[in-house]
Chains A and B, each alone.
Chain A
Amino acid sequence: MLKVSLRSLLSHKLRLVLTAVAIILGVTFVAGTLVLTDTIRSTFQGVLSNVDKGVAVVVKGPAPATAVGRLSGATLPLPESVLAKVKTVSGVADAVGVLDRTGVAFLVNGQEVGSREGARGLNWVTDPQLTQFQLTSGTAPQSSGDVVINAATATDAHLTVGQQVQVSFEASAAETFTISGIATWGGQTSIAGEGFALFTLPTAESFLEANSTFDAIDVSAASGVTDLQLRDDVATTLSGSKVQVQTGAQASSQTEQNAVTEINEFIGAPLLVFAFIAVFVGSFLIANTFSILVAQRTQELALLRALGATRGQVFTEVITEAALTGVLASLAGFLLGILVADGLIHIFSSSTKLSVQPDALITSLLVGTIITVIAAALPARRATRIAPVAALRESQPEIQDLPRTRIGFGLLLFLGGVAWLLVILFTASAAAGPSLEALGLSVLAIFLGTALLAPVLVRPVATVLGWPARFRGAPGRLAGENARRNPRRTALTAAALMIGLALVTAVAVITDSLEASINQAIDGTVKAQLVVLDEGSGGFSPQVASTLRSDPRLADISEIRGSDALVGDISTGVTGLDTSNVGSIFSFSMTAGSAASIDTLNTTIVDSTEAATENVHVGSVVDVTFPNGNMVEMTVGGIYTPDALISGYLVSLSTLNPQLSTVRDSDVAMNPAAGVSLSAADASLLNDLRTYPELSGLTKTQYKNLISAGLNTFLNLIYVLLGLAIIIAVVGIINTLALSVLERTRELGLLRAVGMTRGQTREMIAWESVIIALIGAVLGLAVGAGLGIAMVSALHNDGISQTAVPGNNLILYAVAAGLFGILASIFPAIRASHVDVLKAVTSE
């Protein structure tokens, strides 16, 4: 029987290829993601082990008190005095203090250069055992005006040794340095994309505002002393201080863990989600193709049954074909995935070698094969139902009845999925949010349910959508009939497109609602007309605000600062506001107490959602823990309604400042001075900011546009990621049409014989395709809008106060679907119009 499967497979290579395309595309995405993340991980691991070779022991500060349950790896700074203590430990060959701060930017002619991720500032360590950097040209920094920059920045900005470059730290006014040398980190031209600037220790301490602290102390061991021994000795000497002491190996391994987790969480997991969506959509294609193939092979399979093949043997035969297709296609997909990953890696770095793990191969093979087999299972089961008598008859049953059990099951899945989703969304805990797995599964149930129910909707929807086609005469009418002829097949084909469009629509609804909510927040809560912010990293020096205060055209200069905090055991945020002019900058809608209460030291107002979660009222006392470990008792003076912009605990700057180790502003808001027009004030503001090129001065309208642009970029990214799923869905339509044209050879020949022209034939197929695509669009938009609205409603209390359905986008999607339909019909239509009339109408 295996031979029958193999022969059957090889004899129709075109149909093999069409089925395989879906699997190949899906598996390519999966394999590409896996290889990409494996490569990034292994590159990082390789470099880290290289870089920390000479470090025997690392001393770091404690983790921030607010980093509960979050693996961030950031630690608080150490006082300089610890270094002296460490040096006293016997067995220590050398100990150096290390400063390592993010927020550095390189500027040339007032323009920011180098990596988009910014750069880090560090001190140059001379001890060759303990330094992480290697000079490729020039010398180490000697004087206070020297800097060593990373090779990537030097290349990108065409900088060489001896030239000058401006460097700024956290958007403070830039200082000019001379490039004394160019260096690499563990052989890499940047630190995982980030640039770096190395100064002498005294320069670093003042430029990076270290305030007599270090970020870490690296220690090398004297010969004969093991790392573990030294670690213990140092720990003993430092017992009583709040420090973490690890061996060099432990520290690297921890950094590695954090990096790996981050890579997995932020790159790997999201990409795999989209990859699995593509594979899921592909499964519809496979199910459909095998369904059609089984229908086409009715005679052959009936013959096998007549000759004594059992149902089990027929089932196995079809499944074997599916499994073979799955394995071959998965292999092809895996190889393609490697190519794609290679291409992507080369965009970022030409020297990285791919890391192709056996895991990636096995996962790709399993995913592709299992999905194919599962998708082919129902059609295979249907194959067993072919009566042996069918071997004697030529015509295939064309009008399909809708089996009640399947519809019932579909309804159950759909309603069950909807109910589950609503329960998840509305009972999710405020802290953790909804479980992503449960969310995904409930959405899956909804999609499957809709796919099973879709056949019921095909007839009425096709009638409505086919109505305009009637005006085109026979081709249009026939097209409508054809789409309705086999509702199950039409529904399955359309379902694939439905999934892609539903996801796109849901995301569009969510982003549109988010935008509307933010706009409402800006219009409602924010009274300030101008704002200064850093579009990149966030914090900037209070120097900026001082500069602005001396500008006569600007008034109500109001600094805003923030910090992570722990209240009870819930992670939240504390925002500090300038109480002297907060009334002209913000207007809060209070549900209890007063906003002015934050004037009093250690008094806070909290948003109503959080107040409800933590059971807090006006007059309650809350314990607020800051990253440095300090706990402050604050009294709640009021409760306000949160929105998309502002939530959490609000206090005065005087309350917040003592708890911050470095004072940075996240925004500065202001108004034009009395009698000054907005445009004049804006011009003046931009003029003031010329020395801070990383900062932007924006009017309210520009701020709204900034948010809008950001959301659009996100939406475009989603389009790209879901694009593959949509391509697979369109391939599905091509597939179905092509195979159905093959099936209808007789009928098409008949139509041509009685006078339908080639052009009319093509038009008929095109209309069919458009109707199928539009069915998918209608279902997709409906389900997607529903999903989006459900999710947005659940987030009402978390700031997305508005539910906005982007009507324009939806119309665009529907039109795009129609166009895809026309595109998909080209190949099948040409085939249909070239049917050999004579051969088709004479019997075999």
Chain B
Amino acid sequence: MSLTQTVPSPPSPPPPPLPDAAPIAARALDAVKVYGRGETAVRALDGISADFAARQFTAIMGASGSGKSTLLHCLAGLDRLTSGQVFIAGYELGGLNDHQLTLLRREKVGFIFQSLNLVPTLNAMENIVLPLTIAGRKPDQAVLDAVIQMTGLADRLRHRPTELSGGQQQRVAAARALVSRPEIIFADEPTGNLDSKAGGELLAFLRKAVDDLGQTIVMVTHDAFAASHTDRVIFLADGRLVQEMPSPTTDSILAVVRHLGD
């Protein structure tokens, strides 16, 4: 059962007025997300519009409560907007039912979470090919070999998650995200639980995936160092997009973050 079988091929969204006319992997248009009702209502997303270019490493930054995680969830099809639209690979998510969303996630999206990424009862290799197992497909051997090579974990493939370090687990999760060659990979604070060395290794891995394999990655992080590995950072505050920064460095990011606190 594949997505194209359930939903007719979507009309392509109108190309954005960008000078280099780069293709868009994901887009949010006037996204609003409200939790709760009446007096206790929380406006987590307050009308955000943002484009995420293909073959680019984008970071979403902001303080707690800025809406960055919510934006990620809604972009990834894990949660639904109250109003507004989200596009992935040309599909408008609001028009898909749960089953179609599931298939979308299976075929077009990859995930790396902060923790609890892996199924504890499967070993590393089985975790890596899990999305394909779910889809009932066999992995592309060339891609699989390449990705495993990149993780540097070829000799630990038979180990269970509890037998791997935090950094190794996250690399396995990253490998899993890559193996099915999705349109876009969403990472939610992937280095959050790692020490600086392991974190650095993971970020280098993700950078390589974008540069060598042409993968699109959108990462939520609060860590300026992590964000410095990306091609572009967008800053959120109180559910709104407040600043964009192409070609970020750690210092320039820290400057913006400090400024945001005013």
Of the candidate stretches B88-96, B110-118, B208-216, B227-235, the one touching chain A is B110-118
Shortest beta-carbon distance, A311 to chain B, in Å? 7
CB-contacts of A384-400 with B (<8 A) = 387-389, 391-392, 394
Measured between beta carbons, the chain A residues less than 8 angstroms from B69 are: 392
The chain A residue with its CB closest to the CB of B107 is A308
- Determine if A310 is an interface residue (Cβ-Cβ < 8 Å): yes
Closest to B117 in A: A303
Residue B122 lies at the interface, judged by CB distance under 8 Å to chain A: yes
Residue contact B119 to A306, C-beta cutoff 8 Å = no
Does A309 make an interface contact (CB < 8 A)?
yes
What string of 1s and 0s marks CB contacts (under 8 Å) between A632-671 and chain B? 0000000000000000000000000000000000000000
- The answer to whether B188 touches A392 (Cβ under 8 A) is yes
Enumerate chain A residues within 8 angstroms of B130, measured Cβ to Cβ.
Answer: 304, 307
- A7-B121, A308-B106 in contact; A844/B79 too (CB < 8 A)? no
Among A1, A4, A392, which residue has its beta carbon within 8 angstroms of that of B73? A392
Most central of A1, A7, A299, A392 by chain B CB within 10 Å: A392
Inter-chain contacts of B1 with A (CB < 8 A):
310
Q: Mark B130-168, 1 if CB is under 8 A from A, else 0.
A: 110111000000000000000000000000000000000
In this complex, the interface size class of chain B, counting residues with CB under 8 Å from chain A, is 20 to 34
B113 nearest in chain A by CB position: A392
Given A11-B121, A300-B120, A388-B105, CB of A309 within 8 Å of CB of B134: yes
Q: Any chain B CB within 8 A of the CB of A628?
A: no
The distance in angstroms between the C-alpha atoms of A299 and B115, with both chains bound, is 11
Q: B133 to A3, Cβ gap below 8 A?
A: yes
Q: Do A308 and B102 contact each other (CB < 8 Å), given the known contacts A3-B126, A8-B121, A392-B188?
A: yes
Which residues of chain A come closer than 8 Å to B98, judged between CB atoms? 311
Q: Is the CB of B106 within 8 A of A307?
A: yes
- Interface pair B102/A309, CB less than 8 Å apart: yes
Q: Is B99 an interface residue (CB 8 A)?
A: yes
A300 B119 Cβ-Cβ under 8 A = yes
List A contacts of B116 (CB < 8 A): 299, 303, 391, 394, 844
With contacts A308-B102, A308-B107 known, is A303 near B122, CB below 8 A?
no
Q: Tell me whether B257 is interfacial, beta carbon within 8 Å.
A: no
A391: which B residues are within 8 A, CB to CB? 113, 116
- Chain B neighbourhood of A303, CB < 8 A: 116-117, 119
Would you give the 0/1 interface string for A301-324, flagging 1 where the beta carbon is closer than 8 Å to chain B?
Answer: 001111111110100000000000
Q: Assess the A307–B115 pair: CB atoms within 8 A.
A: no
Q: How distant is the Cα of A387 from the Cα of B126 in the complex, in angstroms?
A: 23
B78 within 8 A of A: yes
A17 shortest CB reach to chain B, Å: 17
Cβ–Cβ < 8 Å partners of B117 in chain A: 303
Known A305-B102, A306-B105, A309-B134; judge A844-B119 contact (CB<8 A): no
Find A311's partner among B102, B106, B188 (CB 8 Å cutoff): B102
Which residues from chain A contact B106 at a C-beta distance below 8 Å? Answer: 307-309
A interface secondary structure, majority: helix
Judged by a CB distance under 8 angstroms, whether B103 is at the interface is yes
Q: Which of B51-107 contact A (CB under 8 A)?
A: 69, 73, 78-79, 98-99, 102-103, 105-107
The reply to whether B134 and A304 form a contact with Cβ atoms under 8 Å apart is yes
Q: How far is the CA of A389 from the CA of B102 in the complex (A)?
A: 12
Q: Assess whether A310 is in contact with B105, with CB atoms less than 8 Å apart.
A: no
Q: How far is the CB of A743 from chain B (nearest CB, A)?
A: 16
| Contact A308 B135, beta carbon cutoff 8 Å | yes
Decide: A388 and B131 in contact? CB cutoff 8 A. Answer: no
Which residues from B are CB-within-8-Å of A10?
Answer: 121
The residue from A3, A7, A310, A394 contacting B102, defined by CB atoms under 8 A apart: A310
Return the contact of B134 from the options A307, A311, A392 (Cβ within 8 A): A307
In the assembled complex, the Cα of A222 lies from the Cα of B130 at a distance in Å of: 81
Check B122 against A4 for contact (C-beta < 8 Å). yes
A-B contacts besides A306-B78, A307-B176, A308-B135, 13 pairs, CB < 8 Å: A3-B133, A4-B122, A4-B133, A8-B121, A307-B105, A307-B134, A308-B103, A310-B103, A311-B98, A313-B134, A391-B116, A392-B69, A394-B116
For this complex, 24 residue pairs linking A to B, each with C-beta atoms less than 8 Å apart, are A3-B122, A3-B126, A4-B122, A4-B133, A7-B122, A11-B121, A299-B116, A303-B116, A304-B119, A306-B105, A308-B107, A308-B131, A310-B1, A310-B99, A310-B102, A311-B98, A311-B99, A313-B134, A387-B78, A388-B105, A389-B73, A389-B78, A392-B78, A392-B188
Using a CB–CB cutoff of 8 Å, the interface residues on chain A facing chain B are: 1, 3-4, 7-8, 10-11, 299-300, 303-311, 313, 387-389, 391-392, 394, 844
